[in-house]
């Protein structure tokens, strides 16, 4: 059972800074999960049905989706039978193994942004208010500029939330990029149209568009996003190349429900999970995979500008489970 060792070896070759960010960002989740698992192992001399029942509860409390919990536990039971495992402490490594394999299985694992082969790439950001959409746009713009060396512009399409336009403009100023704005309460789609026009004129590589996040009126939101998509396709036939859904990890199962609702409204190409450092329930990543099979592309591991990291499954499993491994 050298799986966890192989994960450790795999991440040794990766950036030490990224390793640290994942370990620090998932510290709350890891501590909670590990303390529950270690307490469980201490309570049982041998593995029986009661042990597995408690294991299911621990995984569910960590926000791993119920279906995935059942799959993980079934796989562990098979492993226990095959290898005649008696000691509950030996289960810890198997859990890390099964989480990795089940997430990676039948999955579109790409975390890379889908850039246009030529011309403008349009990224539409969606999500409910309070998920951290505007801040994520700023951090994502910074990341694209720093790592992919592209010219980025932003469009303040959330015209309904007081302060959203100003907040995005402040980010743009900080990054030294252009922000296309409209009037507060104005038509969001016209801001997107102006943004597309301006981005083409300025020969920008990427336009990141903010959108309103009101889920109370699903029909209105759907029509709004449909209109934006129509306008984008008219100007950039292959666009939007990405529609990224921003979810606040601290909202747990509610965040997963939001993802389900948004995926009914518009075609989501990837998830950005914010505030992972603020939750003790790191299993939400697995829950999203279980419910939607949409890739998590980025993960917010702190408040600094470079704390938005590309999602890395090995780093994530290590960050979540490293305290289990003694």
| CATH number (domain holding residue 17) | 1.20.120.140
Mean pLDDT of the region 298-308? 94
How does the average pLDDT of the chain come out, rounded? 89
Domain membership flag for residue 317: no
Domain count, the chain: 2
On whether both 264 and 128 belong to a single domain, the answer is yes
pLDDT tens for residues 20-36?
899 999 999 999 999 99
Banded pLDDT at 108 (limits 50, 70, 90)? low
On whether both 295 and 167 belong to a single domain, the answer is yes
On whether both 247 and 297 belong to a single domain, the answer is yes
On whether both 169 and 32 belong to a single domain, the answer is no
The annotated binding site is made up of 127-134, 210-214, 274-277
Count CA atoms closer than 13 A to 222's CA, side-chain side.
10
On whether both 192 and 299 belong to a single domain, the answer is yes
Q: Using the predicted structure, report yes or no on whether residue 169 has a pLDDT greater than 90.
A: yes
Mean pLDDT of the region 199-228? 87
Domain membership flag for residue 10: yes
Q: Using the predicted structure, report yes or no on whether residue 104 has a pLDDT greater than 90.
A: no
What is the C-alpha separation between 284 and 286, in angstroms, rounded?
A: 5
On whether both 133 and 260 belong to a single domain, the answer is yes
Mean pLDDT of the region 51-80? 93
Q: Which of the pair, 19 or 53, is modelled with greater confidence?
A: 53
What is the C-alpha separation between 115 and 241, in angstroms, rounded?
A: 7
The first and second tokens of residue 181, run together, are: 């704005």
In the DSSP assignment, the letter for residue 298 is: E
Domain membership flag for residue 203: yes
The first and second tokens of residue 121, run together, are: 């790439």
Q: Which of the pair, 268 or 288, is modelled with greater confidence?
A: 268
Full-model pTM: 0.92
On whether both 101 and 131 belong to a single domain, the answer is no
The least confident of 14-23, 52-61, 226-235 is 14-23
On whether both 30 and 155 belong to a single domain, the answer is no
On whether both 172 and 249 belong to a single domain, the answer is yes
CATH of the domain at 291: 3.40.50.300
| Domain containing residue 155 | 119-312
Q: Which of the pair, 263 or 154, is modelled with greater confidence?
A: 154
Considering 9-13, 29-33, 233-237, the range whose residues carry the highest mean pLDDT is: 233-237
pLDDT at 268: 95
Question: Domain boundary residue among 106, 139, 155?
Answer: 106
What is the DSSP secondary-structure string of 72-121?
Answer: HHHHHHHHHHHHT---GGGHHHHHHHHHHHHHHTT-----S----SSS-E
On whether both 227 and 290 belong to a single domain, the answer is yes
What is the DSSP secondary-structure string of 185-230?
Answer: TS-HHHHHHHHHHHHHHTT-SEEEE------S-HHHHHHHHHHHHH
The annotated binding site for GTP is made up of 127-134, 210-214, 274-277
pLDDT tens for residues 122-134?
999 999 888 999 9
Banded pLDDT at 8 (limits 50, 70, 90)? low
Q: Which of the pair, 144 or 186, is modelled with greater confidence?
A: 144
Domain membership flag for residue 319: no
Domain membership flag for residue 291: yes
On whether both 136 and 245 belong to a single domain, the answer is yes
On whether both 13 and 136 belong to a single domain, the answer is no
């Amino acid at each position: 059972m050298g799986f966890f060792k192989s994960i450790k070896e795999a991440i040794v070759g990766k950036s030490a800074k990224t390793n640290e960010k994942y370990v620090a960002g998932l510290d709350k989740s890891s501590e909670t999960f590990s303390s529950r698992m270690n307490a469980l192992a201490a309570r049982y001399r041998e593995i029986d049905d009661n042990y597995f029942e408690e294991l299911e509860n621990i995984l569910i409390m960590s926000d791993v989706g119920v279906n995935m919990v059942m799959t993980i536990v079934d796989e562990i039971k098979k492993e226990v039978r095959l290898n005649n495992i008696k000691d509950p402490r030996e289960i810890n490594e198997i859990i890390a193994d099964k989480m990795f394999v089940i997430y990676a299985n039948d999955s579109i694992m790409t975390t890379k942004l889908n850039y246009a082969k030529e011309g403008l790439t349009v990224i539409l950001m969606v999500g409910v208010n309070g998920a951290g959409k505007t801040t994520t746009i700023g951090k994502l713009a910074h990341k694209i500029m720093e790592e992919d060396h592209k010219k980025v512009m932003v469009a303040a399409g959330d015209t309904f939330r007081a302060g959203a336009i100003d907040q995005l403009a402040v980010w743009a100023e900080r990054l030294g990029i252009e922000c296309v704005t409209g009037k507060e309460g104005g038509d969001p789609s016209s801001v997107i149209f102006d943004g597309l026009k301006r981005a083409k004129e300025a020969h920008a590589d990427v336009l990141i568009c903010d959108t309103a996040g009101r889920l109370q009126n699903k029909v209105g939101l759907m029509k709004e996003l449909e209109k934006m998509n129509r306008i984008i396709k008219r100007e950039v036939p292959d666009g939007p190349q990405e529609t990224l859904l921003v979810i606040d990890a601290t909202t747990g199962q509610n965040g997963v429900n939001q993802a389900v609702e948004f995926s009914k409204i518009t075609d989501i190409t990837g998830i950005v999970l914010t505030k992972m450092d603020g939750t003790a329930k790191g299993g939400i990543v697995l829950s999203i995979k279980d419910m939607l099979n949409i890739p998590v592309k980025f993960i917010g591991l702190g408040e600094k500008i470079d704390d938005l990291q590309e999602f890395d499954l090995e780093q994530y499993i290590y960050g979540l489970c490293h305290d289990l491994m003694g």
